[in-house]
Amino acid sequence: MLMSVECELPAVMMETGAPTPPEVFAHMWRALSGDGWHMDDFGVSRQTANAPAGCIKSEQVITTDTGPTVELAPCPGYTVREIELQITLLRNIVIAQLHQYGVGLLGSGVHPSLGTSVEEYYRFRTQRKAYDYAIEQRGWSHNSIVNICATQEVIDIEFSQAIRVLRVMHRLAGLCLFLFRNDPDLHGNYPDSPYSIRPAAWRAHTPQKGRFAGDVSKVWLPRIEIVSWEHYLVLLWDRSPMFLLGTKNSGLVYVPAHPTFWEYLTNAPKSGWPAKAIMSNKETSVYPEFEHVVQTDWTYMGFARLRWKWKNPLPEINDLVDARTEGRLEEFLAAHIDKVLLEHRANAAALPGQEMTSLAFILGLVNNLEDTEDFVSRYPYPFWLGLAQEAEHQKLSGSISEQSFISLLQEVLEISCRGLLFRGYGEEKYLVPLFRRVEAQTSPSEIVLGTFRDRGIRGVLDLLSYF
């Protein structure tokens, strides 16, 4: 079972805790490009020798996400320890580069000195044209997520288990928020979410009315549970006007008519869809291609999603349309999808020294899927949605429907631990800090909030810094 992780870390000026300006990152990319790394506009990457067979990308990546943050992505590996060694190496490379500019990294899910004003966003943002499109054409409030950082776990799963795993992870999102929240509202911007601002920031990210109000279904958690591939593709293809065509960083166009993706595939004019390139605003025409289908796996940005790799040669669009129309969708997907990955997105950036706790936790649950399913099936889906909302503002010592959060967390940790023990690599050791959190009935957010109240930003920097 291959796995990886994406670790996002705030970059701060060490003396003041102020956000790091984009110019510093530009200097870092240029410096690393002379040391065996390939540079693009937003980061660097390098191929990894002796990469595991079957991984989609055999490379390590250092980049920026939405703002003054560093994102580390190792080459996939077979054990948590392999990923830990790579993350440590990549983080140390970045620290060595940034220290000369007086910049350090924090193990924090929220930037302690960066707000979400429009002015701050345009000063410190990562200038991806895809983000500008979302703001200018769809009315997204991208500034709401400029100051948050996550740890995102990526794990290979069997096609036959993919929807089961997705269902489980959506139900467990609230317990993950409780367990891994490290993104408190230090400055009172989210009074209803003092312990975890990431969910509220994502909800504020999308328009609440108008043509693109359906975009709200693309973030947080599905309001209606996904229990089949058809349900999942409704989420990707039918719920709101389609996003961009092309890759995230280049070759991107949008269709001003704003069809849904399914309409784009099935109702194309003979002369093609009128489109505009986001880099130049140049008008062009686009025709549906199966590669456009392949690219849609990123268009749901909720707390767990599936990514896919398709077999070559790619099938014909008409075959997909016929399969979906005739109720043969899952059979079609099983025949043509080569690999499915779970990308889990519910967890805030980790405390220093505990970077692998969430990867181990999710890995254990996936490896003990039957017990995990039994656990989440005790309560209906609305219960789990409600629990996810409670995780933004309740203490760990609280409860929902007379069920204590602590007892639920203890049980799900035991399930994950058994899943890791089955693997036989000693990875259960990474859960020790989580068991201690539950025993102490406190999460990193409570600790960070207390530190901030007692010692201000300086105390938070001392608590969370890698420098």
Angle between helical axes of 381-390 and 162-171 (0-180°, round to 10): 50
What's residue 249's pLDDT? 47
Tokens of 380: 């209906």
CA distance 272 to 244: 16
- Are 431 and 416 a contacting pair, CB within 8 Å? yes
In Å, what is the CA distance from 46 to each residue of 64, 73, 87, 148, 156? 16, 11, 14, 26, 22
Q: Partners of 404 in the beta sheet?
A: 399
User: At 25, phi and psi to the nearest 5?
Assistant: -65, -40
What's residue 250's pLDDT? 54
What's residue 234's pLDDT? 98
Length of the chain: 467
Q: Partners of 183 in the beta sheet?
A: 196
What's residue 49's pLDDT? 86
The pTM (predicted TM-score) of the whole model is 0.97
What's residue 247's pLDDT? 55
- Are 5 and 151 a contacting pair, CB within 8 Å? yes
Q: Assign domain 3-464 to its CATH architecture.
A: 2-Layer Sandwich (3.30)
Q: Where are the beta strands (DSSP E) in 215-303?
A: 253-254, 273-277, 283-286
What's residue 251's pLDDT? 80
What's residue 65's pLDDT? 87
CA distance 65 to 43: 10
Give pLDDT < 50 ranges for the chain: 248-249
What's residue 50's pLDDT? 85
Q: How many C-beta atoms lie closer than 10 Å to residue 98's C-beta?
A: 24
SS3 451: helix
**pLDDT tens for residues 353-407?**
999 999 999 999 999 999 999 999 999 999 999 999 999 999 999 999 999 999 9
Q: Where are the beta strands (DSSP E) in 178-294?
A: 253-254, 273-277, 283-286
In Å, what is the CA distance from 123 to each residue of 21, 57, 63, 114, 115? 7, 32, 18, 11, 11
CA distance 335 to 192: 46
CA distance 34 to 22: 19
Q: How many C-beta atoms lie closer than 10 Å to residue 210's C-beta?
A: 10
What's residue 246's pLDDT? 82
Q: Where are the beta strands (DSSP E) in 311-392?
A: 337-348
